[in-house]
Structures are given as C-alpha cells and as structure tokens.
Amino acid sequence: MQSKRILVTGGAGFIGSHLCRRLLAEGHDVLCVDNLFTGSKDNIIDLFDNHKFEFLRHDVTFPLYVEVNQIYNLACPASPIHYQFDPVQTTKTSVHGAINMLGLAKRTKARILQASTSEVYGDPEIHPQPETYWGRVNPIGPRACYDEGKRCAETLFFDYYRQHKLEIRVVRIFNTFGPNMHPNDGRVVSNFIVQALRNHDITIYGDGSQTRSFQYIDDLVEGMVRMMNNEEGFVGPVNIGNPDEFTIKELAEKVLALIPESKSRIVHKALPQDDPRQRQPDISMAKEKLGWQPEIKLDEGLRKTIEYFRTIIGRA
C-alpha cells in the first residue's frame, strides 16, 4: 500500500487514538488533530517518538490549512455527559467542523470519511436499523445537539459529494468500547466496569430491558479503514456495529461475572429523556460492500477493557 499523509481529527480520543495506531502500523504519515476537550495526550503519548506521527492542538470549528491525502473526521464529544456539557459547542463541532474539513478536502482533493453515529436513527421504530431508515429523533431534546448535529454533518457530506464531486465516505458507528475510553465518559460499558472495580453500585437506568449492540474497538477501526480505502465508489452511509444484541441488565451481569472480586450490586434509576429502547445494526451492507463483519465477541472485548481500566484505576 502506498504511504499517504492522513489527517485524523479527534485523534487523541478513544476511537481516534486506535485509528492513529493502525494507520502508523500501515506506514502512513499521520497528523493527529485534537482540542483535548475529551481527548487526552495519554492516549497517544507512546506515538510521539514515531517520526511519522505529528500532533496539533486545534479546534475544528476553525479552518485548518494543511496538505493531506485522506481525512478521517472524528472530532466531536460522543458521550451524553460530554456532549450535553456544552450543547452549542457540540453542534458547532459537528456542523462547522464538517464544513471546515469538507473545505479542506475540496482544496487538497483528499478523500474524507465522516464518523457518523447510530444516534442518527434516534429512538427507532424499525429493528434492526438499516441504512435506508431515516430515523426518529427529537430535534429539541437534550440529545439533539449530538443527534441533529451528526445528521446535519451527513447532509453536508452528501451535498459536497453531489455539488463538488468530493470523494466522501460515511460510516454510522454503533456502540463501541475498548481501551482508551474515558473512565468518566458516562457510557454504559465504561460506567459498569469502573463502578465494579471501585465496588460502587452499578447503575442501570430503567428496568434494564433496553438493548444495545456492543462492538470492540479493533472491529470498528477495521471497518473504517476498509470503508475509506474501498475503490468501488461506495460512499455509504454504512452501519459499522456488532449485531449481537444484549439487554443493559445482561451487560451488567457479564461485567460482574468477569470481576468476581467486586462487591458491587445493581441499582435502578429513572430512564433519561429520549434514551433509545433498542439499538441494533443491520450490517448486511457492510458485509456485501466491504466484506466486513465484527470478529471479537463481547466477553473477549470486555476482558481486554477491564484490564485497561484496572491499570487506569490503579494509577489514580
């Protein structure tokens, strides 16, 4: 594979840091851009000695003037606790960030991939969710800054594709977990693991019957790279997620079983507004167009993630 100069926005975040590692391992020059709002230098500190890696602290709501061949646009807080902290900035990051990165791609003639989200489906009426489903999103709710911001970013990507013939790729990411997750990001896998390791009560919102489909980070990165590099003109959007569905209660029980020393117990709290009841990807398009499907089972991924958090909490 020919070496490229690749920009990863949000590159110091959970997903971005794994993607940077993968691209470096393939021999590419990687420019990691992050404003460190939710990303952390700790996630990429081991990459600073690599002469093919460069870090730039920058907010994508402002234009960026660099020369690149490919752009992975991952910049945006992705957990409710973070994206609701400053909802106006969250919307700006999705919308202004997309405009700036699309403008950069237009100028440099770079191929650009948008990291969209299963949240564009909202609280779905169709199960599992195919890419043809338009979603059921509350445009004025507390999650709308993220949901509608990502939906608008997809709109911009396809308008640049139609109007300017830009080479775009759009992936819709479903619940993903693994090392480098922020311990306080409020997402369910990291929440349960950290609570169990600290012997705190494991908090389930509602009765725990709502479902999610969890994919390990390595599977996601593989899907993103395949999507970026597909030469068949397939632009997406395409679901990248694990179709194996579990209730939140089942996840809590699995985490406790994998941390047998934990003294945590499960407690229930009220369900947040607009929290989806079901979330499961239809990945038939990813299988057909990319030859991709997840390989790592939930228990295997949980073990690796638990070991990561043991190290993090041990240092705290």
Point out the residues that are catalytic. 146
The DSSP code for 291 is -
Residues 6+ apart with CB under 8 A from 252: 192, 202, 204, 208, 266
State how far Cα 128 lies from the chain centre.
Answer: 19
The Cα–Cα gap between 60 and 54 comes to 16
The Cα–Cα gap between 105 and 74 comes to 14
The Cα–Cα gap between 81 and 176 comes to 16
Percent helix / strand / coil, the chain, rounded to 5: 40, 20, 40
Residues 6+ apart with CB under 8 A from 247: 208, 209, 210, 211
Residues 6+ apart with CB under 8 A from 101: 9, 60, 64, 71, 73, 112
Backbone dihedral region for residue 216 (phi beyond 0: left; psi -120 to 50: alpha; all else: beta) = beta
